Amino acid sequence: MIKVTLKDGKVLEFEGPVKAEEVVKKIGMGLYKAAMAVKIDGEVFDLMTEIKNDCSIEVLTFDDEDGRWTLRHTASHILAQAVKRLYPKVKLAIGPAIDTGFYYDFDADFSITPEMLETIEKEMEKIIKEDLSLERFELPRIEAIKFMEDLGESYKVELIKDLPEDAVISFYKQGEFTDLCAGPHVLSTGRVKAVKLLSVAGAYWRGDEKNKMLQRVYGTAFTKKSELEDYLKMLEEAKKRDHRKLGKELDLFSIHEEGPGFPFFHPKGMVVRNMLEDFWRKEHTRRGYKEIKTPIILNEALWHQSGHWDHYKENMYFTKIDEMDYAIKPMNCPGGILVYKNSMHSYRELPLRMGELGLVHRHEISGALHGLMRVRCFTQDDAHIFMTPAQIKDEVLGVINLTDYVYKLFGFEYHVELSTRPENSMGSDEDWEHATNSLREALEAAKLDYKVNEGDGAFYGPKIDFHLKDCIGRTWQCGTIQLDFQMPERFDLNYIGEDGEKHRPVMVHRTIFGSIERFIGILIEQYAGAFPTWLSPVQVKILPVTDRANEYAKQLEAKLKDMEIRVELDLRNEKIGYKIREAQLEKTPYMIILGDKEVEAGNVSVRSRKEGDLGSMEFDAFIEKIKEEIDKKISNI
RNA sequence: GCCGGCUUAGCUCAAUCGGUAGAGCAACUGACUUGUAAUCAGUAGGUUAUUGGUUCGAUUCCGAUAGCCGGCUCCA
């Protein structure tokens, strides 16, 4: 007798071994139809799995992340099967499910064109219609290798050979097509009700640029056609929030062929920038930071000493002054260190928090550039904290809290990563371990969930990274906290301790916004260009209905300017509807409409970009309203 | 940097089979004095990214370069 415990605590009993799908059928046929996979004692399995012992079971549908991944993984096999049917010579690499769908990497001696995707998609539809059952089987290592060798699938052979000795090597077969795969998969190809191929892109085999570039086909799959359509619509909508598009439309910034990756900020973009910087300064002053500014060009020798020459040269720009070699700074730390070294420091001064809005230049490869998100020059809202080892945890915690405060203000959801020692790095293992553990402790003290990113730290220390999402869900690293024992050593930094002796301080390099440019890019997408009033380039537009209201409009404009409210007056000889439409498209938070009635009553008619016509009110009442919104930095998207 | 795609007026986009480019918006001029998302009329605007080739003739076909877009790699 086998007892299967369901999620709600109910227990089903079976005479002997039973397939998971039979258990699900017994729960209900509706659920069976929606089931993608099952979780048996917390682990995900196929529905065709045979249950031999007592266990607890949870049915996974498309609404569960694991269920979704199962369906999409099967969709990727359908893609591979379709490609093999149409182009038998193409070799298969890997084809996993991803957050938004799935992909499959192919090695073909021809280019897969967007037109071919349509053909492949049709073949996929056929395979779905054939409703082929998926069968799982295992092979011993030698046979598995032989199996794939016979099929000429050299990438699969390599994959098998790299599996650990004791690994179970499983295959999934659907019709004439068999793929090496750990699973799980849905019962049959017919379960994939809606599938769409989205794009082709190059991808290196195993993600290594030294390897051959394969062709990656991206797609997505759903259990309902309507879900697919909704998703595609959502993607279209999301693209309208793209900061590159909005940046142009709202005249915030531009990037020119004359300077790829070097953005130009226009007057309206500068307002956003300056407001962010003002806010940044206030928050940092409040938290005991001092501000410095260090030069952009410094002698190359400094960069030898810092280790950048050995570890970061490829990303740096160089120049000559009077036959001497200089470098354009890619980071602010060496400059900050020179400031620290400029005077003696007592333990009483520590922690010393030195902020710098520093413009850095980095040579990013051309293919990496992306609007304001990845550029070749950007301003880091940097700070270097010099401290005693005992102060590490509190200081790191302080930065974590500040970051959380700032991100919450903008309504961002973020995720955190802890990056550990990379290959090309400097310092002893002990230092790295100490530094990494300190960061880990701070994260745990802050009760933050985080993901470990092995080998992704800076060359001088491990780091905590804060990632924010853009309009289509790509994440970008913004805030970072990097712990550094190396620079203090290299630059022989010290402070005088209580004992009157010299001691080595520890350094934290940290940013909150990360780069002002990237942060603005994220902000634009977060708000779809409709900045909260405190950040809006223009906060109020005054729109006279006829020129009889012009004088009154000018008076109000002057008053608003006096109160440091950013105002524009539209005196053009246009209809009020036209002026409103334009102000709305510019995403101006408030419009003041002035006609004969307002002139006579001495009040204002207010329109909000969000709520439309608010009716007439006293000018002072409007001032109070907008002032409060600005002071409290209310996000009225 | 790599793979694929794209590049036509300031912006968004047309142009049949290869026959030297057209619209809307914006700009400018004029009329209209207007009440909560586009008033009307007119004017001007282009070496079709650059460059080489094929052709009697290239926006169109082929090559190179640059930039951009989607990924890979890399990273704030």
- Per residue in A603-624, pLDDT (tens digit) is 999 999 999 999 999 999 999 9
Find the Å distance, CA of residue A612 to C1' of nucleotide B74.
46
Q: Where in chain A is the domain with CATH 3.30.980.10?
A: 66-239
Whether any strand B atom is under 7 angstroms from the Cβ of A288: the reply reads no
Q: How confident is the model at residue A278 (pLDDT cuts 50, 70, 90)?
A: very high
The percent of residues above 90 in pLDDT, for chain A, comes to: 79
Structural tokens at position A350: 């520590």
pLDDT tens-digit series, residues A235-253: 888 889 999 999 999 999 9
Q: How far apart are CA A265 and CA A520, in angstroms?
A: 11
Cβ neighbours for A92, distance < 8 A, ≥ 6 positions apart? A80, A83, A84, A104, A105, A106, A107, A153, A155, A156, A179
| Amino acid at the residue A602 | G
Residue A332: pLDDT over 90: yes
Q: Would you say the C-alpha torsion A286, A287, A288, A293 has a positive or negative sign?
A: negative
Average pLDDT over residues A113-137: 91
DSSP for A194-242, please give it: EEEEEEEEEEEGGG-TTSPEEEEEEEEEESSHHHHHHHHHHHHHHHHT-
Strand locations in A97-189 (E): 97-98, 101-107, 134-138, 170-174, 177-180
Nucleotide nearest to A612 (CA to C1'): B36
Tell me which long-range contacts A620-624 makes (C-beta under 8 A, separation of at least 24).
Answer: A622/A590, A622/A592, A623/A560, A623/A563, A623/A565
**Using the CB atom, is residue A213 less than 7 Å from strand B?**
yes
* CA to C1' distance (Å), from A558 to B36: 23
Residues of A annotated catalytic, as ranges: 333, 362, 380, 382, 384, 463, 509
Q: Are A532 and A275 in contact (CB under 8 A)?
A: no
CATH 3.10.20.30 fits A2-61, yes or no: yes
Confidence of residue A41 (pLDDT cuts 50, 70, 90): confident
Q: Is the CB of A244 under 7 A from strand B?
A: yes
Residue A152 scores a pLDDT above 60: yes
Which residues have a Cβ under 8 Å from the Cβ of A251 and sit 6 or more positions away?
A266, A267, A268, A269
How buried is A342 (Cβ within 10 angstroms: 0-12 exposed, 13-18 middle, 19+ buried)?
A: exposed
A509 assigned ligand-binding residue = yes
Looking at residue A12, its pLDDT comes to 82
Name the segment(s) of chain A with CATH classification 3.40.50.800. Answer: 540-631
Place of tokens 């050299």: A154
Residue A637 has pLDDT above 70, yes or no: no
Return the CATH superfamily for domain A271-526. Answer: Bira Bifunctional Protein; Domain 2 (3.30.930.10)
Q: Which residue, among A133, A158, A132, A134, has the nearest Cα to A145 in the 3D structure?
A: A158
Which nucleotide is nearest, taking the CA of residue A546 and each C1'? B33
What is the predicted pLDDT for the residue at A178? 93
Query: CATH number of the domain at A540-631, please?
Result: 3.40.50.800
Tens of pLDDT, residues A153-174: 999 999 999 888 888 899 999 9
Q: In the complex, which nucleotide's C1' lies nearest to the CA atom of residue A258?
A: B67
Q: What's the CA gap between A167 and A67, in Å, rounded?
A: 24
Residue type, A502: K
pLDDT score of A326 more than 60: yes
* Protein-contacted bases of chain B (C-beta within 7 A): 1-5, 11-12, 31-39, 66-76
Please tell me the distance from the alpha carbon of residue A188 to that of residue A594, in angstroms, as a whole number.
66
Say how far apart CA A259 and CA A370 lie, in whole Å: 13
DSSP 8-class letter at A296:
S
Q: Give the pLDDT of residue A253.
A: 96
Distance A363 CA to B1 C1' (A): 12
Q: What superfamily does domain A66-239 belong to in CATH?
A: Threonyl-trna Synthetase; Chain A, domain 2 (3.30.980.10)
ipTM, two decimals? 0.94
